[in-house]
C-alpha cells in the first residue's frame, strides 16, 4: 500500500484533485490517501500557508498529489510551493507536453521540459533601494550538475534520443555560461546515445510555436522552464492539459501546471485533464506502470471519442469528463 498525501489547495484545486483521486481509485486499490491543507485558505485559518505538520506529512508519504494555491499580497504570506520544493529538495521539475487532439493551426507536439526547480530567480532574494529593486539570481554548479545529469538519465529511460539545452549565455555569460558549460561536459558521458543541441531561450520560445518537432527533451533553468512550459501548454489547448512532477532524491509532488483560477472556482467546469495526467505520472514514479498507462490511454481515448472539455469548446464539465475517463478504464 502506497501512502499519498493529497493537498487540494485553493480555487479549482479541490475540484480537479477530486477528479484525479476518483480516477486513481478506478485503477488501483493499493493507494492510501491522507489529506492536508495548503494555500491561502490555510493561511487565513492558521496564519501559515503551509504548516510544519503538513510538511512532515508530505515527507512521510510515498508521494504527494497537489492541486493549486491562490497567492496573496499580504507580506506575511510566503509561497507554500517554493517552501515545499525547498524543504523536500525537489530539484527537478518535469513537464510533459503532448497534443491530445488536433487543434486548428497548431502543430502536433510531444516533448518534455526538464526544469531546475530550486534556484535562479526563485530564491526571492531581493534588495530595495531608493531607486528601485535588485533581484539576486543564484545558479550553482551543484544544482546545474544534478539537473543536467537528471535530464540525460531520464531521457535515456524515456527512450528519447535528442536533448536541447536552453539558455541565455550570450548575455548572462557567467551564470547561464556555467549551466551551458556543465551541459557540454555531462553530454560527453552520453555521446553516441543522445543527440545534443543548444538554443537561446527567446529563439526556443519561437521554435515551440513554429516547429516543436525539433524538440524531444528540453533542459533549462528555473524561470525559463516555467515560461516555456506555459508557451508549450498553449499550443496543446492550455494549462488544463499540462501535468508536472516535482522530483527529489527522497520525495515527490505531482500537480497540474495551472493555477487556482478563482474566476471559475465552484462552477464545476475546470478541466481536470492536467490533474489526472499528473496522477498518472505519480503512479509511474511509484513503479505502477500498468496503472499509469491505463490512465493515460483512457484520457487519450476520451478525447479521441469527442469527449471535449469546456475550455476547448466542448460540453463536458469536470465531473462528466472524469466519468468518461473512468468509463474507458472500466471497459478494459
**Residue 269 in 3-state DSSP?**
coil
**Percent of the chain with pLDDT strictly greater than 70:** 100
| Domain boundaries of the chain, sorted by first residue | 1-89+253-332, 107-235
DSSP H/E element including 163: strand 162-167
pLDDT in tens, 28-64: 999 999 999 999 999 999 999 999 999 999 999 999 9
Residues 6+ positions from 211 with CB-CB distance below 8 Å: 107
Block residue for cell numbers 471497459: 331
Matching fold, domains 1-89+253-332 and 107-235: yes
Q: Provide the terminal-to-terminal Cα distance of the chain, rounded to the nearest Å.
A: 23
Task: Give the catalytic positions in this structure.
Answer: 122, 168, 202, 226, 230
Q: List phi, psi (to 5°) of 115.
A: -120, 135
Specify the 3-state DSSP secondary structure of 223: helix
pTM of the predicted model as reported, rounded to 2 decimal places = 0.96
Q: Rounded mean pLDDT of 186-199? A: 96
Q: Which pLDDT band holds residue 111 (cuts at 50, 70, 90)?
A: very high
Q: Which pLDDT tens digit goes with each residue over 273-332?
A: 999 999 999 999 999 999 999 999 999 999 999 999 999 999 999 999 999 999 999 997
Residue % of the chain over a pLDDT of 90: 98
Instruction: Write out pLDDT tens, residues 247-280.
Output: 999 999 999 999 999 999 999 999 999 999 999 9
d(CA 123, CA 219): 19
| Distance (Å, whole) CA 270 – CA 309 | 8
* pLDDT(124) > 90: no
**What confidence tens digit (pLDDT) does each residue in 56-76 have?**
999 999 999 999 999 999 989
Q: Which CATH architecture has domain 1-89+253-332?
A: 3-Layer(aba) Sandwich (3.40)
Nearest to 49 by CA among 24, 74, 80, 21: 80
Domain topology for 107-235: Isopropylmalate Dehydrogenase (3.40.718)
Q: Which residues contact 159 (CB under 8 A, 6 or more apart)?
A: none
Amino acid at each position: 500500500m502506497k501512502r499519498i498525501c493529497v493537498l487540494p489547495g485553493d480555487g479549482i484545486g479541490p475540484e480537479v484533485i477530486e477528479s484525479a483521486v476518483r480516477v486513481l481509485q478506478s485503477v488501483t486499490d493499493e493507494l492510501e490517501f491522507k489529506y492536508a491543507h495548503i494555500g491561502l485558505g490555510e493561511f487565513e485559518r492558521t496564519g501559515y500557508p503551509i504548516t510544519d505538520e503538513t510538511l512532515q506529512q508530505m515527507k512521510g508519504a510515498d508521494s504527494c498529489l497537489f492541486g493549486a494555491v491562490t497567492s496573496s499580497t499580504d507580506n506575511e504570506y510566503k509561497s507554500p510551493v517554493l517552501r515545499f520544493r525547498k524543504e523536500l529538495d525537489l530539484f527537478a521539475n518535469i513537464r510533459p507536453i503532448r497534443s491530445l487532439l488536433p487543434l486548428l493551426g497548431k502543430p502536433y507536439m510531444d516533448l518534455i521540459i526538464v526544469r531546475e526547480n530550486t534556484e535562479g530567480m526563485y530564491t526571492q532574494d531581493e534588495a530595495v533601494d531608493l531607486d528601485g529593486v535588485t533581484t539576486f539570481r543564484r545558479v550553482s554548479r551543484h544544482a546545474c550538475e544534478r539537473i543536467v545529469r537528471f535530464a540525460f538519465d531520464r531521457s535515456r529511460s524515456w527512450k528519447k534520443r535528442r536533448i536541447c539545452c536552453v539558455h541565455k549565455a550570450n548575455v548572462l555569460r557567467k551564470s547561464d555560461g556555467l549551466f551551458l558549460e556543465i551541459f557540454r561536459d555531462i553530454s560527453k558521458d552520453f555521446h553516441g546515445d543522445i543527440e545534443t543541441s543548444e538554443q537561446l531561450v527567446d529563439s526556443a520560445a519561437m521554435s515551440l510555436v513554429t516547429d516543436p518537432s525539433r524538440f524531444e527533451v528540453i533542459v533549462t533553468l528555473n524561470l525559463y522552464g516555467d515560461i516555456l512550459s506555459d508557451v508549450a501548454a498553449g499550443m496543446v489547448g492550455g494549462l488544463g492539459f499540462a501535468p508536472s512532477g516535482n522530483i527529489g532524491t527522497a520525495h515527490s509532488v505531482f500537480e497540474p501546471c495551472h493555477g487556482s483560477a478563482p474566476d471559475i472556482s465552484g462552477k464545476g467546469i475546470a478541466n481536470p485533464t492536467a490533474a489526472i495526467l499528473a496522477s498518472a505520472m505519480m503512479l509511474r514514479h511509484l513503479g505502477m506502470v500498468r496503472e499509469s498507462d491505463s490512465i493515460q490511454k483512457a484520457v487519450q481515448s476520451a478525447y479521441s471519442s469527442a469527449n471535449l472539455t469546456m475550455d476547448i469548446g466542448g460540453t463536458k464539465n469536470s465531473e462528466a469528463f472524469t466519468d468518461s475517463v473512468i468509463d474507458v478504464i472500466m471497459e478494459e
